[in-house]
Amino acid sequence: MNWDDETPDSATGADPRLVDAGADTEDTAVEAALRPKDLDEFIGQEKVREQLDLVLKAARARGATADHVLLSGAPGLGKTTLSMIIAAEMAAPIRITSGPAIQHAGDLAAILSSLQEGEVLFLDEIHRMSRPAEEMLYMAMEDFRVDVIVGKGPGATAIPLDLPPFTLVGATTRAGLLPPPLRDRFGFTAHMEFYAPAELERVIHRSARLLDVAIDAAGAAEIAGRSRGTPRIANRLLRRVRDYAQVKADGHITVEIASAALGVYEVDARGLDRLDRAVLEALLKLFSGGPVGLSTLSVAVGEERETVEEVAEPFLVREGFLARTPRGRVATPAAWAHLGLAPPQGAPGQAGLFPA
Ligand SMILES: Nc1ncnc2c1ncn2[C@@H]1O[C@H](COP(=O)(O)OP(=O)(O)O)[C@@H](O)[C@H]1O
Ligand SMILES: [Mg+2]
């Protein structure tokens, strides 16, 4: 799986995938209409919601600007949505930018110095910001101050500039990549988890209502089960199933329609797509379940190493279909069961690794 919003799988040379968690052009256009507008409308993530609710309520009661918030989690789980909700709940304007968009510290200084009091600054992919910008951000977050450097070389001087209090909302798919001094300056860190199927069903029902699509409970459950725990994917699959329902039926989404539609798009019952299944099938059929090295497995699938490792494997590992061991990739019993195959007796990958 690709964990950077800004680099969809298409950038790695593969076809865009229906189950990629990054936003494609269509998502970007549709998502604005589907985003929950306040915390009450935001589905799931109970812990994060409860904690954030307290942080925001307390700030409002004090008449103060909310503490800086760090949102960490995989793409498509609702980080951008939450940043907008934070601004809405604080009745504050929001400015949206991203780490890669800030090339120089000067870019950041320009943004910071034009913020209004109480404004929310959303910094997406904060782990991809440049070093000098990062250091400027430390001081801005802590003291609401930046040093603007005027001139070059030995004659350069730093002119301190006071900033109005603001709330920085940083989002990252990789909290581990953030330097500790930056992480420490957030008053509150929210770790976003993958969504349970029941939560995704609610997301799907809500989106269907907004898109004016008729769907029954079993239809929503069918789509939810294939959405990889990710609201963005759930919304995308819903749109594809809607297309199918309109063309092949009366537009009403039932479990039969949902499963037939996603069959056409090759997204299986657990949310695996063609690539995921190709990797699993090669591992099971050609290598008896492994262990097999990544390079060998990639050649067998006819894909780049990186594609197998970064696009397919993370989800297969997360779902418990594949394990990365020091001796190579190994299929789990769940993988054999999912593909409806019987593991060979005494397959090397099975012995001792997964006692029954
Ligand atoms: N908790 C949620 N409830 C309802 N819809 C959600 C939720 N989280 C995300 N979504 C939907 O999923 C899509 C992707 O969310 P987004 O905030 O852009 O994810 P991220 O920024 O983490 O990649 C949006 O269209 C949003 O409407
Ligand atoms: Mg986002």
- List, for residues 237-282, the tens digit of each pLDDT value: 999 999 999 999 999 999 999 999 999 999 999 999 999 999 999 9
Q: What is the pLDDT of residue 126?
A: 96
Residue 281 sits in the same domain as residue 227: no
* 355 has a pLDDT exceeding 60: no
Spacing, Cα 343 to ligand 1 middle (Å): 39
Query: Which of 65, 80, 230, 254 is flagged as catalytic?
Result: 80
Decide: 235 in ligand 1 pocket, CB within 6 A: yes
Residue 50 sits in the same domain as residue 186: yes
Segment 96-110, tens digit of pLDDT? 999 999 988 999 999
Q: Which of 121, 125, 81 is nearest to 101 (CA)?
A: 125
The CATH number of whichever domain residue 216 belongs to comes to: 1.10.8.60
**Which ligand 1 atom is at minimum distance from the Cα of 35?**
27
Amino acid at site 252: H
Segment 286-340, tens digit of pLDDT? 999 989 999 999 999 999 999 999 999 999 999 999 999 999 999 999 999 999 9
Residue 143 sits in the same domain as residue 254: no
Residue 103 sits in the same domain as residue 80: yes
Mean pLDDT for the chain overall: 91
User: What mean pLDDT do residues 19-37 have?
Assistant: 88
Identify whether 256 is part of a domain. yes
Spacing, Cα 82 to ligand 2 middle (Å): 9
Identify whether 345 is part of a domain. no
Q: 46-62 and 79-89 are packed helices; what angle lies between their axes, rounded to 10 degrees?
A: 30
Query: In this structure, are residues 163 and 146 in contact, taking their beta carbons and an 8 Å threshold?
Result: yes
Q: Is 189 a catalytic residue?
A: no
pTM, 2 dp: 0.90
Q: Partners of 171 in the beta sheet? A: 71
Buried/exposed 216-245: b ≥16 CB within 10 Å, e otherwise: beebbbbbbbbbbbbbbbbbbbbebbbebb
Identify whether 115 is part of a domain. yes
Distance in angstroms between the alpha carbons of the first and the last residue of the chain: 29
* 70 has a pLDDT exceeding 80: yes
Q: What is the pLDDT of residue 353?
A: 56
Residue 54 sits in the same domain as residue 170: yes
Residue 118 sits in the same domain as residue 161: yes
Q: What is the pLDDT of residue 163?
A: 96
Q: What is the pLDDT of residue 336?
A: 97
Tell me whether residue 57 is annotated as binding.
no
Tell me whether residue 354 is annotated as binding.
no
User: What mean pLDDT do residues 47-51 have?
Assistant: 96
Buried/exposed 9-28: b ≥16 CB within 10 Å, e otherwise: beeeebeebbbbbbbbeebe
- The secondary structure of the chain, three-state, reads CCCCCCCCHHHHCCCCCCCCCCCCHHHHHHHHHHCCCCCCCCCCCHHHHHHHHHHHHHHHHHCCCCCCEEEECCCCCCHHHHHHHHHHHCCCCEEEEEHHHCCCHHHHHHHHHCCCCCCEEEEECHHHCCHHHHHHHHHHHHHCEEEEEECCHHHCEEEEEECCCCEEEEEECCHHHCCHHHHCCCCEEEECCCCCHHHHHHHHHHHHHHHCCCECHHHHHHHHHCCCCCHHHHHHHHHHHHHHHHHHCCCCECHHHHHHHHHHCCCCCCCCCHHHHHHHHHHHHHCCCCCECHHHHHHHHCCCHHHHHHHHHHHHHHCCCEEEECCEEEECHHHHHHCCCCCCCCCCCCCCCCCC
Q: What is the pLDDT of residue 347?
A: 52
The CATH number of whichever domain residue 279 belongs to comes to: 1.10.10.10
Residue 201 sits in the same domain as residue 177: no
Identify whether 8 is part of a domain. no
pLDDT band at 6; cut points 50, 70, 90: very low
Q: What is the pLDDT of residue 153?
A: 87
Identify whether 353 is part of a domain. no
Identify whether 348 is part of a domain. no
* 1 has a pLDDT exceeding 70: no
Spacing, Cα 237 to ligand 1 middle (Å): 14
Q: Whose CA is nearest to atom 26 of ligand 1?
A: 35
Spatial distance between the Cα atoms of 115 and 111, rounded to a whole number of angstroms:
7
Q: What is the pLDDT of residue 177?
A: 87
Q: Which of 47, 117, 116, 37 is nearest to 82 (CA)?
A: 37
User: What protein residues have CB closer than 5 angstroms to ion ligand 2?
Assistant: 80
Residue 178 sits in the same domain as residue 235: no
Identify whether 135 is part of a domain. yes
Q: What is the pLDDT of residue 206?
A: 98
Residue 120 sits in the same domain as residue 41: yes
Q: What is the pLDDT of residue 346?
A: 63
Identify whether 249 is part of a domain. yes
Last residue of a domain, one of 166, 191, 216: 191
Total number of domains in the chain: 3
Greater confidence, 125 or 8? 125
Residue 180 sits in the same domain as residue 205: no
Decide: 118 in ligand 1 pocket, CB within 6 A: no
**Which ligand 1 atom is at minimum distance from the Cα of 5?**
23
Instruction: Pick from 4, 81, 96 the residue to mutate for probing ligand 1's pocket: most ligand atoms within 8 Å of its CB.
Output: 81
Residue 42 sits in the same domain as residue 185: yes
Query: Which of 65, 172, 173, 230 is flagged as catalytic?
Result: 173
Percent of the chain at pLDDT exceeding 90: 81
Q: Whose CA is nearest to atom 8 of ligand 1?
A: 78
Q: What is the pLDDT of residue 89?
A: 96
Q: Which of 88, 174, 178 is nearest to 141 (CA)?
A: 178
Lowest mean pLDDT among 80-89, 128-137, 196-205, 248-257: 128-137
Tell me whether residue 143 is annotated as binding.
yes
**Which ligand 1 atom is at minimum distance from the Cα of 195?**
1
The ligand whose atoms approach the alpha carbon of 98 most closely is 2
Last residue of a domain, one of 175, 191, 207: 191
Tell me whether residue 80 is annotated as binding.
yes
Residue 176 sits in the same domain as residue 282: no
Half-sphere exposure of 67 (CA within 13 A, CB side): 19
Q: Is 80 a catalytic residue?
A: yes
Percent of the chain at pLDDT exceeding 70: 93
Decide: 81 in ligand 1 pocket, CB within 6 A: yes
Tell me whether residue 327 is annotated as binding.
no
Q: How far is CA 333 from CA 1, 38, 273, 316, 347, in A?
A: 22, 43, 19, 13, 11
pLDDT band at 28; cut points 50, 70, 90: confident
Query: Which of 5, 9, 27, 124 is flagged as catalytic?
Result: 124
Last residue of a domain, one of 191, 213, 238: 191
Decide: 79 in ligand 1 pocket, CB within 6 A: yes
The CATH number of whichever domain residue 155 belongs to comes to: 3.40.50.300
Query: Which of 228, 232, 236, 242 is flagged as catalytic?
Result: 232
Query: In this structure, are residues 309 and 12 in contact, taking their beta carbons and an 8 Å threshold?
Result: no
Domain of residue 40 covers: 35-191
